[in-house]
Structure 1
C-alpha cells in the first residue's frame, strides 16, 4: 500500500483529486520526476491514462542508467508518485503535468536508500524524533546568457544591470516576469525578484515551506527557469561561477526549527540576538561540520571558484548577526515566527535533498551534543589578516573540491547523514570529477606559461 492508496486499497482523496484534475485540465502526459545523486532531475513520461496505475502499482524503470543508483544486475526500480506534488507544466500548453516520485527498491518493496529524497526524509524523521519540524527557504541565484546562432550557450550576458537595477539596464526584467508567472502557475508563492550584483545575474525568492517541499521546489525552480529562459532564446545557468573575477551564484539557505505545537524553536525574545539556545546549538553543529558539509553543499570543481574572498561569498567558518562575510548569518526578523539562521555557503549546483539533509543532521548533532556556539563576529572578516583570524579562532572552508571530499570522508556524522549507498556513490563520482579536473590544462595556464617557459 502506498501513501496515495486508502486502507481498503482504493485511491486516497489526494490521489483522486489529481485524477479529477487530469480529466478537467485535459492533461495528455505525466512526467514522473525524481533526481539522481548529483541532483539532476530525471523523468519517466507516461500517458495520463496511466495515472491511476502509477498511484496504485507504481511505474517501473531501469535504475542502472541513473547516476549513482544500482548495478546492471539489480536494475529494476519503481517510481511511487507523491500526489501532493502534482502541477501542470506551464510551458507545455497545459497538456503536460508532473508528479515528483519516491524511488522504491523492487526486490524489497522498501524505499531505495540511494534516492536523495529518501535521504532527506530520513533527516526529517530524526528531527521529528527530537520534537522538531524543519522549515527551509533557499535563494538560488542564476545567470542569463545569450545563445549563439546554433542555439548553444555563450557567456555573453544580455544586460549591463547591477544590484536591484531597473530597465533599461536590466533587460531581463521581462524574462523574470514570465518565470514568476510560470512558477506561480505551479503553486509557488513568490516573495520578490531582482537583478543581482553581477551583470546577467538574477534572483527570485519564494516563500519558505517544510524542508521536503522546499527541496522539491528547488528542482522545480531550476527546471522552470531554464525552460522559460529558453523561450526567450536565453540560456539560464545555475553554475556557481560562470564568469571569472565577478560575483558567483549562491543559494543562501534559511533554516528554522518548529516544535510540534507550532512554536519557533529558534526564537528567544530575551536573548540579545533573539536566538534560543536550540538555535545556537544548531548553528554550532553546522560550524563544527562545515568543512565536510562543503562537499555536499558546494559539490563541483567550479563551486570553489566562487568561494574565494573578495566576491561576497562566505569562506570563513563563523557566524554573525550583522555582516555577510561569515558562513552563517542571523537575519533580522520582524516577528518571532520568522527567527531563523541563514547558511550562506551552499550554491545552486548542489543536490537540494542531500544538502538540506546534511545541514539538518549537522545542526541536530549540535543540539544533541549541546555544543557551545562561539560569539558572533560583527566585523568584516574579509578585512582580517591571518593573525587576526587565528586570534578569533576563525577557520576557512576547503579551498577546492578535493579538500572538501577528504573532509567528508573523515566526518562520520555527515557520511552517516548521506547513508552508505549515497556516500559511496557520491564520493566515487566527485573524486572522478576532481581527478579529471586535475589532469586538465586550462586556457589560463596556456596563456600564462606557454610562451614564458
Structure 2
C-alpha cells in the first residue's frame, strides 16, 4: 500500500502493516521469505544496556517454539536484587518490537523481550514492567494516554582535524565542513529509524571544541512522541545503534552529562503530553490546559525523586549549573531553557506561516498540528 512506502522499518514495509499489530505468524513469514538465519532476543538489564541471546534458526518448529515460549536466562547476572539461589527467569519476545539487525553479517531479526517469573507472571521489579504498570495506572485514573519523547544529546570524540575548525561553543545547527560528523549522525538516524525509532530530527548542538589530540562535537537526535513504554525502547535502541556505528567509524560517542568544565553538557530532556481519543490535551483555547498545569505541578512536586533517577552520577550535577541552559531551580516557564520544566512553542498562532513564506504559491490551511508538550530538562544520559 502507498502509505507504507516511506516507512523505514523493513518489516513494516514488507508486511504492509504497523509494528504494533505484528503477530508471530507475521514474523515467521518475514524470516522465511527473507532467508533470515538468526533471531536475537534483546532485553535491558540493570545497567541499562541491551543484552543479547542469539538463536540460529535450523527449522520452522524451532522458530515457532522460541517465538512462542521464549527462553530461560539467569536473572542474578542481570539484576543485583535477584538472588542466585532462585534466579531463573523467562524472556518472552514482544513481536511489535521486531527489527532487522543493521550490523549483523548473518541476516538477523532482533526482538525486545519482557521478563517473566517461574509462575509465568511479569517480573514485578523489571524496569520495563514498572513503567508499563505506571502507565496503566495513569490511564485508569485520568483516562489519558501518556506520551513522551526523548532528546538524546551526545558527543562525538575523534582525532583532531585542523581544517575548518568550528567556533568554540558555537556548534548549534552548524553544517559541514565546520562540523565533521553530520554524516555519522544522519546514518545513525537512518539505522535507528529502520530499527523502529520514530525520529523528529537531528542536528549538531552547542558543544564544539578541541584539545591537542581530539575534537569534541556535540549532537542531538530528537524523537517523536509515542506511548511512554515505546519512548524507553527508542532511547535504548538509539544508544545501541550509536555505539555500534561509532565502533565501525573508529570514533567514540559519549552520553556523559559533562565532558569538561565550561563546555556544554549533554542532557536527555523528556517532552511529554497527555492524549485522549487521539487528541493532544495540553492546550485549551490556545493556552495551557488544566491537564497540562496539573502535569507541571506533579513534576515540580516530585522534582527530588525525578532527579535521583534522571541524574545518577556526580558528573550529572556538574551539568546542572547556571548559564549552561540547564535547570538549577525548581520552577517552570514559557520557552525558558534554564527552568526545570519548559513550555516550548506549540504552534498556537492562527497565522498561516507557510503562505507568508511562500507568497506566490497557493497553500491550504489544514487544521493546526497538536504538538504542544511540556519538557523536563533535568535528566541526562545516565538515566538508563
Give the TM-score, by structure 2 length.
Answer: 0.80
> How far does residue 244 in structure 1 lie from its aligned partner after superposition?
2.6
Whole-angstrom CA distance in 2 between matches of 1:125 and 1:213: 14
Asked if the contact 1:141/1:204 (under 8 Å) is kept, the reply is yes
1:32 and 2:35 correspond: no
Confirm or deny: 8 A CA contact 1:297 1:350 kept in the other structure.
yes
Partner of 2:7: none
Matched, 1:269 2:285: yes
Q: SS state of the match for residue 109, structure 2?
A: strand
Summarize deviations over 1:377-435 as a string: whole Å, max 9, x none. xxxxxxxxxxxxxxxxxxxxxxxxxxxxxxxxxxxxxxxxxxxxxxxxxxxxxxxxxxx
Alpha-carbon distance between aligned partners in 1 of 2:57 and 2:174, rounded to the nearest angstrom: 43
* Structure 2 residues without counterparts, runs of 5 or longer: 1-20, 209-216, 348-367
CA distance in 2 between counterparts of 1:198 and 1:176 reads: 15
1:283-294 correspondence to structure 2 within 5 Å: 283-294=296-307
Q: Distance in 1 between matches of 2:91 and 2:268?
A: 29
Is 2:335 aligned against 1:319?
no
Match of 2:265 in 1: 248
* Structure 1 residue 233 displacement after superposition: 0.7
Deviation at 1:25, TM superposition (A): 2.4
Which aligned pairs between 1:351-366 and structure 2 lie closer than 5 A? 351=384
* CA–CA separation in structure 2 for the residues paired with 1:109 and 1:299: 32
What is the aligned partner in structure 2 of residue 191 from structure 1?
200
CA distance in 2, matches of 1:315, 1:40: 29
Please state if 1:126 is matched with 2:137: yes
Structure 1 residue 26: Cα displacement: 2.3
Q: Does 1:297 align with 2:317?
A: no
Matched, 1:163 2:179: no
8 A Cα contact 2:37 2:106, kept in partner: no
Partner of 2:236 in structure 1?
A: 219
> 1:26/1:286 Cα in 2 relative to 1: closer, same or farther (>3 Å)?
same
Q: Give the match for residue 339 of structure 1.
A: 372
Q: Does 1:85 align with 2:101?
A: no
Alpha-carbon distance in 2 for matches of 1:70, 1:45:
23
> Is 2:381 the partner of 1:348?
yes
Worse overlay, 244-253 or 51-60: 51-60
CA distance in 2, matches of 1:61, 1:235: 31
Return the offset for 1:243.
2.5
2:122 is matched with which residue: 95, 98, 111? 111
Q: Contact conserved, 2:22 with 2:95, CA < 8 A, in 1?
A: no
Structure 1 residues 247 and 28: CA distance shift in structure 2, 3 A: same
1:58 aligns with 2:67: no
User: What is aligned with 1:442?
Assistant: none
Deviation at 1:94, TM superposition (A): 6.5
Q: Is the 8 A contact 1:37 1:114 kept in 2?
A: no
For 1:236, the equivalent position in structure 2 comes to 253
Counterpart-to-counterpart distance in 2, 1:323 and 1:313: 10
Q: How big is each residue's C-alpha offset from its partner over 1:285-328, in whole Å with a ceiling of 9 and x where there is no partner?
A: 11011012101011122211211222211121100013111000
Q: Which residue of 1 aligns with 2:148?
A: 136
- The Cα offsets for residues 165-215 of structure 1, whole Å up to 9 and x where unpaired, read as 111110001211221221232233432211110021101222221111111
CA distance in 2 between counterparts of 1:230 and 1:27 reads 24
Q: State the secondary structure of the residue aligned to 1:227.
A: helix
* Structure with a larger share of its residues in helix: 1
3-state SS, counterpart of residue 284 of structure 2: coil
Alignment: residue pair count: 327
2:17 counterpart residue number: none
Look up the SS of the partner of 2:314 in the other structure.
Answer: coil
Contact between 1:264 and 1:336, CA under 8 Å: does it hold in 2? no
Counterpart residue number, 2:13:
none
In structure 1, distance between residues paired with 2:291 and 2:376: 16
Report what 1:402 is aligned to.
none
